[in-house]
Structure 1
Amino acid sequence: MTPLGMVVAGLLLVVNDFRFNGLDLIPDLIGWGIVLGGLAKLAGRSPWFTAAAVAASFGVVLGIPLLLVEAGRGLVAAESLVIGVLVFGTCTGISAVVDRSDVQRTANLLRWIGLAVTLTALLSSALGRSIMVTADGAQVAAAVVVLLALAFFAWFLVFLWSNRKDPALGALDARTQPEPVG
């Protein structure tokens, strides 16, 4: 699997909880470990990938208490910060190593929108706002913010996935792939 493919797969495991009778079947720290592995493969290409890998290592650490307890406001805020640093570092790294202007433009846009999303999430957490929509619709604005954050995150994952085969991002091209055996 390519480094960016590993990042996407790991992040999908982090954001999706597979629960059975309250037990998380695939803990977040496994997803963070896969993300860290993908970013570690890119670390030599740009210091920004190293910064993103450091953020992923904090994600692994945050995954440990999540094995035992449900995520409280503090853990949610910490994970939001980790994801924000990861998005910013990964997009800046991609922009630094890929020579295509369309990819650089999208990476630049994603990193700044990601920063705004992260700051909004941290502010919301600090203010203690619930993300649940009440029956009377009093917190619809918070729900809209959450939906926009999810849409942004989906865009980020699609961007990574669509660029996973770029040789500048650690993917093997046809000239360097090993010959199939047998």
Structure 2
Amino acid sequence: MKPLQSVAMGLVIVVLVARFAGYDALADPVGWLLVIWGVRRMTDHTTLLALAVGALLVACVVWFPATPDLLEDSDPSLRWAANLPQVLFCVLLCRQLSELAGAASDQRARAWLRTTMVLNALLALAPVLVFAGDADDLLPSVYAAAGVVVLMLIVLLFTYANRAWAPDS
């Protein structure tokens, strides 16, 4: 499996939820281990790897059913904070891949990756604006949009995994 395919499969596991007795059968920590495996085979991966490990640690804590309930009940901004390592990882991954695509003159791929990067960054900040504007009823829409953007990234990772500029180790 190519590095970008491994990262994409890991993100699929992270995004999908199959709850049984309160636990997610598609455990996010397993997904982050796949992401880490893919990132480790990429060049210039130090910051990406640190963010993926941070997301793995958060996913390990949040996997237990009581934790997300506690975060949501105490303060909705804690849920946002728990998702931040994942979003930052996605932003940086898109940035690095867009630079690789640009260096290889694949302008279409570069444009898609930069668009995905900007959307991830905007959606990372959107909950802050929702909290500041006391518009908590918009929060589900923001999280739904963030899910769509992550799915877009997954599709792009699978699509670009075989490109000449894509990491191949």
TM range (shorter): 0.7 to 0.9
Provide the aligned C-alpha RMSD in A.
Answer: 2.4
Aligned to 1:159: 156
Aligned length, in residue pairs: 159
Aligned to 1:34: 34
Q: Deviations over 1:63-84 (max 9, x none)?
A: 2212433312465223321122
Aligned to 2:59: 63
Identity %: 19
Match of 1:104 among 105, 110, 117: 110
Aligned to 1:7: 7
Distance of 1:126 and 1:62 partners within structure 2 = 25
Q: Please say if residues 127 and 139 of structure 2, whose CA atoms lie closer than 8 Å, have aligned partners that are also in contact.
A: no
Aligned to 1:54: 50
Relative distance call for 1:65 and 1:88 in structure 2 (3 A) is same
Distance of 2:48 and 2:132 partners within structure 1 = 24
Q: CA deviation at 1:143?
A: 3.6
Relative distance call for 1:127 and 1:22 in structure 2 (3 A) is farther
Distance of 1:78 and 1:142 partners within structure 2 = 14
Aligned to 1:90: 93
| Paired residue type of 2:158 | W
Unaligned runs of 5+ in 1: 131-138, 173-182
Q: CA deviation at 1:86?
A: 1.0
Q: Please say if residues 62 and 75 of structure 1, whose CA atoms lie closer than 8 Å, have aligned partners that are also in contact.
A: no
Q: CA deviation at 1:124?
A: 3.8
Larger-gyration structure (1/2) = 1
Q: Please say if residues 15 and 147 of structure 2, whose CA atoms lie closer than 8 Å, have aligned partners that are also in contact.
A: no
Q: Which moved more, 1:62-71 or 1:50-59?
A: 62-71
Q: Deviations over 1:80-109 (max 9, x none)?
A: 211221111111111222211111122112
Q: Please say if residues 88 and 114 of structure 1, whose CA atoms lie closer than 8 Å, have aligned partners that are also in contact.
A: yes
| Paired residue type of 2:10 | G
| Paired residue type of 2:89 | L
Q: CA deviation at 1:127?
A: 7.0
Relative distance call for 1:23 and 1:81 in structure 2 (3 A) is closer
Relative distance call for 1:67 and 1:95 in structure 2 (3 A) is closer
Aligned to 2:167: 170
Relative distance call for 1:129 and 1:32 in structure 2 (3 A) is farther
Higher relative contact order (CA 8 A, sep 6+): 2
Distance of 1:150 and 1:26 partners within structure 2 = 16
Taking structure 1 as the reference length, the TM-score comes to 0.75
Unaligned runs of 5+ in 2: none
